[in-house]
Amino acid sequence: MQKLFSLTVDLGERSYPISSSVYPELFLNQLKELIKSGRRVVVVTDDNLIKAQSLFFEQIIGDVPTFVIPAGEQSKSLECLSTVYSFFAREALDRKSAVIAIGGGVVGDLVGFAAASFLRGIDFFQVPTTLLAMVDSSVGGKTGINLPEGKNLAGAFHQPNAVFIVTDILKTLPLRDFSAGSAEVLKYGLLADEKLFTKLSELNGLATNDECLPEIIFRCCQIKADVVKEDEKETAPSGGRALLNLGHTFAHAIENVAGYGEYLHGEAVGIGLVAAARLSSRLGYLSSEEVSLIERVVLAYQLPVGLRESLPVEALVTAMRKDKKVSQGAIRFVVLESIGKAITLEGVEIALVEDVLSSLGAV
């Protein structure tokens, strides 16, 4: 059995490890010790995963109380959050209890928020099962749910106690979901590591059995851990953790206006990365050749570079104005000074933003 990597998200007393292996055996003892520790432990997952990984649950989770939510972005809602709270209450969780979130970004975000707010905070552990969750949403402690008015508008910073990544589990992930996760991988290369983006462009796509995949996941986690260490709660006046939102101001607006679930989050981020590149070019940072390169790479990773169906420009801009990253009424964008270096920018002319949205197929 080969241990692939281990790193620490350094946050003082709230530091925690991210550990990864191809196979789940590495974590069997750690999870079983937690389950048998005498603490009250429960699991939350989704219905797709419980079907695809029945053996995993049987071997590792056994008879631990498990709550299954519907798969999909629609579960990041007040209604679903309420059912998780009720499950915690029925299982008589106390402040020494722990929750294990097994699933993708929806499960991690929802369960993390439930853990942050139930009894004013209980421990939780992340076992991400999608590429997107492994490289992004399971790390950093951002938890939350969507509201009709916007994505992730209700939430809390609540760091996990540990993150366990089992890359072999990706083999059961549908191709569309795996491709969606690639958008976050590309994001890290674009915002902080030109060498990583060059490598990704040369690979021309990723597969679940690629030997380089664990190394790429490690690098993405490393970048995010470094950013979170410096700006955990996104309070830096410029740059900082906000840089991790590259492409996301556009993506969240698309998800909101199209309806949650119409686009997978990573698909919307793929479009958002293209939008951010085009905006960067219009602002005089990227060349047209660099924008074309980014678009080619996004396409190579089976991600959309434009809207499937037209959405109203006005509605998209309105959604952006409700984004949680808005500061004193100004929309803050993350743009690329160059490939591998991102900056935050306020005061962008809305006419430029509307022009970019029109280039994506909005009307």
Task: At 250, list the tokens.
Answer: 């556009």
Is residue 158 annotated as a catalytic residue, yes or no?
Answer: no
* Rounded CA separation 47/102 (Å): 11
Fold of 3-172: Rossmann fold (3.40.50)
Is residue 265 annotated as a catalytic residue, yes or no?
Answer: yes
Task: At 356, list the tokens.
Answer: 């970019």
Residue burial 166-204, b: 16+ Cβ < 10 Å; e: rest? bbebbeebeeebbbbbbbbbbbbbbbbbeebbeebbebe
Q: Which of 76, 245, 256, 282 is catalytic?
A: 245
Q: What is the pLDDT at residue 219?
A: 95
Q: Which residue has the tokens 């649950």?
A: 57
Is residue 224 annotated as a catalytic residue, yes or no?
Answer: yes
Is residue 234 annotated as a catalytic residue, yes or no?
Answer: yes
Q: Which of 29, 120, 202, 309 is catalytic?
A: 120
**Does domain 191-360 correspond to CATH entry 1.20.120.160?**
no
Q: What is the pLDDT at residue 4?
A: 65
Is residue 309 annotated as a catalytic residue, yes or no?
Answer: no
Q: Which of 151, 252, 278, 332 is catalytic?
A: 252
What are the CA-CA distances from residue 210 to residues 70, 216, 267 (Å)?
30, 10, 21
Q: What is the pLDDT at residue 1?
A: 43
Q: What is the pLDDT at residue 93?
A: 97
Pairing of strands 163-166, 16-21: parallel
Could you tell me the residue ranges of all domains in the chain? 3-172, 191-360
Compute mean pLDDT per 10 residues along the chain, 363 residues long, and list them.
Answer: 76 91 72 82 94 83 91 95 98 96 96 98 95 95 92 94 91 93 98 97 92 92 95 90 95 95 95 98 97 98 97 96 78 96 94 97 96
Q: What is the pLDDT at residue 57?
A: 83
Is residue 245 annotated as a catalytic residue, yes or no?
Answer: yes
Task: Give me the phi and psi of 298, to 5 degrees please.
Answer: -60, -45
pLDDT tens-digit readout, 241-253: 999 999 999 999 9
* Rounded CA separation 361/347 (Å): 24
Is residue 184 annotated as a catalytic residue, yes or no?
Answer: yes
